[in-house]
Amino acid sequence: MKMGTALIYDEEMTKYKLLWVDPVCKIEVPERLIVSYEALVKSGLADRCVSIPVREATDAEILLAHSEEYLEAVKKTPFMHLEELMTFTQKYGDVYFHPNIYHCAKLAVGATLQLVDNVMTGKVRNGMALVRPPGHHSQSSAANGFCVFNNVAIAAQYAKKHHKAKRVLIVDWDVHHGQGVQYCFEDDPSVLYFSWHRYEHQSFWPNLRESDFDSVGSGKGAGFNVNVPWNKVGMGNSDYLAVFFHVLLPVAYEFSPDLVFICAGFDSAIGDPEGHMSATPDIFAHLTHLLMNLADGKVCAVLEGGYNLTSLAQSVCQTVQTLLGDPAPRPAQLGGACESALESIHSARAIHKKYWSCLQHAAAPFPEEPSSKNRRLAQQGGSQGPEGDAGGDAQKEEPEKVEEKEEEEIVWPEPLRRVAPSLRSALLLPDAVECPDGCARFSPAHGPGPLERARLRKSYLKESEDEASVTLLYNLTALLGQMEKNEIRNGLALVPDVSMAATLLTSASLSKRVLLVWMGEGPVPAQIIEDEKTLVVHIDSMEPHEAQSKYYIPITLKKGCGDTAGVVQAVLGLLLPLGYQYEPGLVLLARPPGCQVKGGLWQQLTCLLQGLALGHTLVLLQENETAPVGITASGLLGNAALSLGPLVAPGPEDVGSFEGLRLRLQTDWPLLQTTAPEKR
Ligand code: Q9C
Ligand code: ZN
């Protein structure tokens, strides 16, 4: 199994800066890289990574995304005097040159390629390149937006050419639109480009018509460009997660990349003077986690923007710590996406429904779209107006208007320290079943006393059952207890009766909230369904007998759990948003007898659920069905789930019924919303 996280950084990339006065460019400072790296060192994260040297990209590599004329022009900049540099700079938008920037730009590309080589050859599983200058705005023949060469676009071409990557996903979570990346792959179906960006109906830089949601790619590449424009500032954690659950992840899983790039700009985090968003640094732990089971875990994060040094350093640490496999923090108090974000989500889903079967039942585009946007634009006084926070009437659900505050006035709590329990995975297995490598066989310090034995026997067992059954129950609660004390991260138990074990555990859990995921035929024990502190998500082929309630959510699939595409859709669009909104302290994943979920999908589920409850996942398997033990253990140990391959269309009735379920549940669970209220 491929292990390790690469960190690629070289101080040399701090050695250029703005040499004249320019209010637009003054935020792009060497300290951006210095504070990011220092934070990684101070927190001990840098030491845990595999450090890989940078190199200079070759001309041929740069030419994968740029014209010869442009490369030749940039090559002359190291020999230019100040005046000449300023003149050269003026040919482009929002960028500056320096005698050493060409050298740094070659290192930034080279660092990204080093990352790709190490990830694609399996020397590491994933990694991050901390680079300057950034890349996603630069174009075939133009520098732009602090970017000289398009690091990620070059690296995607390189991965296709040198590592035979067939499908590459680029997730651009920087707050600006990476138009350079969009242009590079516009008609290329082998590279799926996703970007969200501050847009404000085209009034925010780079003010491009083609940054809107209706730029979907062209020719063979139609459908492979996904834009989610933010038309208001102040977007927060719920907005970001909603876009992941309802737009990016379904499409990404259907696409099934061989490699994932993150254009990891952190100007989309709180406190950033460019972005004016409110998402907190810990959200990047989740965004990273949610991408880490695509492409067999091959994720290359490459720094782009990020101009608030505090928020930048914290966000970089959150990202790298997640790549390393530490448990993600609990994202607290998620609501639904705000109204403006829902409009963007709706628009993106509607325009892409003809390209992606996971979206085929998304609501239709608004009839007035996209012209309504132009009307609003006109009301704001033209398309090239300055960026700013003006326009739109404030509504209750809208994000807070961010006044032109000095950035130091915006404060947020430092992310909590993320502690990984010293024991990652404890398995409760009958003696005859071999314990997979890397896992510990769970044995409690001492057995139950006579009173405890009597209590367990009375509450859960028939008279006829032997002492071994009592011991098993005791061991289960002991394992649960150590997980809840954060001494053990996760666990797996092979039990003779999954229903009984689930009943025992939900009642024994001290967590205020337990999420029980029941994969297959029920019934789910009535005692659990009635339990107010357990949210049950039940995926099955049978219409359930029990009436659905806020805390019992049956998801019915025609072909049951054997329908991989259907289950993936249910997991991404329903289970995960429900789980994130519920904020469980413990996740129980139950595999009742005869469960049809295929191995790879089971592993995906095991891995994805670990983003919840600080990674406290307890998996229950049926004693006589030992086949899934190996893959479950592998997922619990933090190995990436294997790619499911491109997904076929889920059954149309199923997709239709998910949409119906989503509509019914979204009042109680706003993170399920995909459409603005008045448009529903
Ligand atoms: N305030 C990156 O984040 N200036 N580039 C915008 C509007 C350009 C950002 C002016 C910002 C470029 C990589
Ligand atoms: Zn940016």
Q: Give CA–CA dist 533/512, Å, rounded.
A: 6
What pLDDT does residue 2 have? Answer: 55
What pLDDT does residue 114 have? Answer: 98
Q: Indicate the pLDDT class of residue 386, thresholds 50, 70 and 90.
A: very low
Point out the ligand nearest to the CA of residue 131. Answer: 1
Decide whether 5-388 matches 489-672 in CATH topology: yes
Q: What percent of the chain has pLDDT over 70?
A: 92
Q: What is the mean pLDDT of residues 268-277?
A: 98
Point out the ligand nearest to the CA of residue 172. Answer: 2
Closest CA to 453 of 425, 472, 428, 427: 472
Q: Which CATH superfamily is domain 5-388 in?
A: Histone deacetylase domain (3.40.800.20)
Residue 401 has pLDDT above 50, yes or no: yes
Ligand 1 centroid, distance to 676 Cα (angstroms): 29
**Highest mean pLDDT range out of 289-298, 366-375, 509-518?**
289-298
Ligand 2 centroid, distance to 552 Cα (angstroms): 42
Residue closest by Cα to atom 6 of ligand 1 = 205
Q: What is the mean pLDDT of residues 249-270?
A: 98
Residues with CB under 5 A from ligand 2 (ion): 174, 176, 265, 267, 305
What pLDDT does residue 408 have? Answer: 57
What pLDDT does residue 390 have? Answer: 33
Within 10 angstroms of residue 659's Cβ, the number of other Cβ atoms is 16
CA 653: distance to chain centroid? Answer: 28
Q: To test the ligand 1 pocket, which listed residue (13, 33, 94) has its Cβ within 8 A of the most ligand atoms?
A: 94
The pLDDT tens digits for 498-532 are 999 999 999 998 888 999 999 998 899 999 998 88
Point out the ligand nearest to the CA of residue 145. Answer: 1
Ligand 2 centroid, distance to 303 Cα (angstroms): 10
Within 10 angstroms of residue 285's Cβ, the number of other Cβ atoms is 25
Assess contact for 252 and 297: CB atoms under 8 A: no
Ligand 2 centroid, distance to 17 Cα (angstroms): 17
Point out the ligand nearest to the CA of residue 147. Answer: 1
From 98, 136, 137, 361, active-site residue: 137
Closest CA to 347 of 146, 521, 199, 128: 199
Residue closest by Cα to atom 2 of ligand 1 = 305
Q: Indicate the pLDDT class of residue 376, thresholds 50, 70 and 90.
A: very low
Closest CA to 94 of 151, 150, 32, 27: 27
Point out the ligand nearest to the CA of residue 173. Answer: 2
Q: Give CA–CA dist 146/135, Å, rounded.
A: 8
**Pairing mode, strands 191-198 and 168-172:** parallel
Residue closest by Cα to atom 11 of ligand 1 = 145
**Highest mean pLDDT range out of 113-127, 408-422, 535-549?**
113-127
List, in sequence order, every residue forming a beta bridge with 74; answer none if it has no partner: none
Domain spans of the chain, in order of start: 5-388, 489-672
Atom of ligand 1 nearest to the CA of 305: 3
Residue 377 has pLDDT above 50, yes or no: no
Atom of ligand 1 nearest to the CA of 265: 3
Atom of ligand 1 nearest to the CA of 267: 3
What pLDDT does residue 461 have? Answer: 83
Within 10 angstroms of residue 365's Cβ, the number of other Cβ atoms is 16
- Output the average pLDDT for the chain: 92
What pLDDT does residue 128 have? Answer: 99
Q: Give CA–CA dist 541/557, Å, rounded.
A: 5
Q: Give CA–CA dist 629/290, Å, rounded.
A: 23
Closest CA to 612 of 530, 482, 511: 511
Q: Give CA–CA dist 209/207, Å, rounded.
A: 7
Q: What is the mean pLDDT of residues 248-259?
A: 98
Q: To test the ligand 1 pocket, which listed residue (24, 196, 207) has its Cβ within 8 A of the most ligand atoms?
A: 24
Q: Give CA–CA dist 8/31, Å, rounded.
A: 17
The pLDDT tens digits for 79-116 are 999 999 999 999 999 999 999 999 999 999 999 999 99
Residue 226 has pLDDT above 90, yes or no: yes
**Highest mean pLDDT range out of 29-43, 348-362, 411-425?**
29-43
Ligand 2 centroid, distance to 449 Cα (angstroms): 61
What pLDDT does residue 568 have? Answer: 95
* Per-residue three-class SS string for 19-80: CCCCCCCCCCCCHHHHHHHHHHHHCCHHHHCEEECCCCCCHHHHCCCCCHHHHHHHHCHHHC
Least confident of 280-289, 333-342, 589-598, 650-659: 650-659
The pLDDT tens digits for 553-583 are 999 988 888 889 999 999 999 999 999 999 9
What pLDDT does residue 388 have? Answer: 34
Residue closest by Cα to atom 3 of ligand 1 = 305
List, in sequence order, every residue forming a beta bridge with 195; answer none if it has no partner: 172, 227
Fold of 489-672: Arginase; Chain A (3.40.800)
E strands in 429-469: 440-441
Assess contact for 474 and 453: CB atoms under 8 A: yes
Q: What percent of the chain has pLDDT over 90?
A: 78
Atom of ligand 1 nearest to the CA of 307: 3
Atom of ligand 1 nearest to the CA of 94: 8
Q: Indicate the pLDDT class of residue 47, thresholds 50, 70 and 90.
A: very high
Instruction: Give the C-alpha distances (Å, rounded to integers) separating 676 from 250, 359, 447.
Output: 20, 17, 55
Q: For residues 217 and 455, which has the higher predicted lDDT (pLDDT)?
A: 217
Residue 123 has pLDDT above 50, yes or no: yes
Ligand 2 centroid, distance to 559 Cα (angstroms): 44
Residue 206 has pLDDT above 70, yes or no: yes
Whether 276 is catalytic = no
Q: Which residue has the tokens 């920087």?
A: 174
Q: Give CA–CA dist 443/476, Å, rounded.
A: 10
Assess contact for 233 and 402: CB atoms under 8 A: yes
What pLDDT does residue 79 have? Answer: 98
- Residues at CB less than 6 angstroms from ligand 1: 24, 94, 134, 137, 145-147, 174, 176, 205, 265, 267, 274, 304-305, 387
Residue 379 has pLDDT above 50, yes or no: no
Q: To test the ligand 1 pocket, which listed residue (22, 33, 137, 304) has its Cβ within 8 A of the most ligand atoms?
A: 137
Q: In this structure, what token pair is assigned to residue 519?
A: 């994969």
Q: For residues 403 and 229, which has the higher predicted lDDT (pLDDT)?
A: 229
What pLDDT does residue 655 have? Answer: 80
Within 10 angstroms of residue 340's Cβ, the number of other Cβ atoms is 23
Ligand 1 centroid, distance to 563 Cα (angstroms): 44
Ligand 2 centroid, distance to 229 Cα (angstroms): 14
Atom of ligand 1 nearest to the CA of 274: 1
Sequence-separated (6 or more) residues with CB below 8 Å from residue 16: 30, 98, 99, 100, 101, 104, 132, 133
